[in-house]
């Protein structure tokens, strides 16, 4: 087995500021090990900061390894340059409202549509469909249930009137 001496990278020039040094060390990611891999530079091996967890990507970013460096890309639903990412509020635009017909609720990295009472969310996740309350126990109406958009109303047969509870019918007496 052939053992090669460990070579160290050249030291940065003394005139480099601390910020430039940090920038240099972040983009210069070669480890000098004695065999070359991916870099074509004898004695250097490319380091994968992403898999090692030594990157400085934001928690809501994806680290992407590149030759001699790495990139930080904000995850879908977030905006920024990768080292700083912030949630995109899809509900912010009152006109678009996240594409929701009724209500839009912003959640981290995404959004959710909800519907007003008397409606249910359609399979597309954006539109709202009227719930026919009359299909379930006649809407609680004693005699006639009439479905309306987002609600229902009880009615009575001829000779009856609707009581104060809006569900029970009372016989008219002459």
CA distance 158 to 163: 14
CA distance 140 to 159: 20
Alpha carbon 19 to its chain centroid, in Å, reads 34
Instruction: Report pLDDT for 51.
Output: 94
Look at the block and give the residue holding tokens 């090990």: 33
CATH topology for 133-171 is Laminin (2.10.25)
pTM for the predicted model, two decimal places: 0.59
SS3 (DSSP) at 138: helix
Whether pLDDT at 7 is above 70: no
- Residues 57, 63 contacting (CB under 8 angstroms): yes
pLDDT, averaged across the chain: 82
Instruction: Report pLDDT for 2.
Output: 39
Domains 26-86 and 89-130 equal at CATH topology level: yes
CA distance 107 to 111: 5
Per residue in 16-63, pLDDT (tens digit) is: 333 333 333 344 444 444 333 444 555 678 889 999 999 999 999 999
CATH topology for 89-130 is Laminin (2.10.25)
Tokens of 155: 């009615």
- Residues 12, 6 contacting (CB under 8 angstroms): no
Instruction: Report pLDDT for 41.
Output: 56
Higher pLDDT, 98 or 144: 144
Residue spans of the domains in the chain: they are 26-86, 89-130, 133-171
Lowest mean pLDDT among 30-39, 47-56, 69-78, 106-115: 30-39
Per residue in 127-155, pLDDT (tens digit) is: 999 999 999 999 999 999 999 999 999 99
Handedness of CA 32, 37, 38, 41 (dihedral sign): positive
SS3 (DSSP) at 106: strand
In CATH, the architecture of 26-86 is Ribbon (2.10)
CA distance 128 to 122: 5
């Amino acid at each position: 087995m052939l053992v090669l001496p460990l070579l160290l990278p050249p030291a940065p020039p003394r005139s480099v500021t601390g910020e430039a040094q940090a920038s240099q060390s972040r983009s210069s990611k070669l480890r000098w090990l004695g065999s070359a891999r991916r870099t074509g530079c004898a004695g250097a091996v490319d380091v994968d900061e992403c898999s090692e967890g030594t990157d400085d990507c934001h928690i809501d970013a994806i680290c992407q390894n590149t030759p001699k460096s790495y990139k930080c890309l904000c995850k879908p639903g977030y905006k920024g340059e990768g080292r700083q990412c912030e949630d995109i509020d899809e509900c912010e635009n009152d006109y678009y409202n996240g594409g929701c017909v009724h209500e839009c609720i912003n959640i981290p990295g995404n959004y959710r549509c909800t519907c007003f009472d008397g409606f249910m969310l359609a399979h597309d996740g954006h539109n709202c469909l009227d719930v026919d309350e009359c299909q379930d126990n006649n809407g609680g109406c004693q005699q006639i249930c009439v479905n309306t958009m987002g609600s229902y109303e009880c009615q009575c047969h001829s000779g009856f009137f609707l009581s104060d509870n809006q569900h029970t019918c009372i016989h008219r007496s002459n």
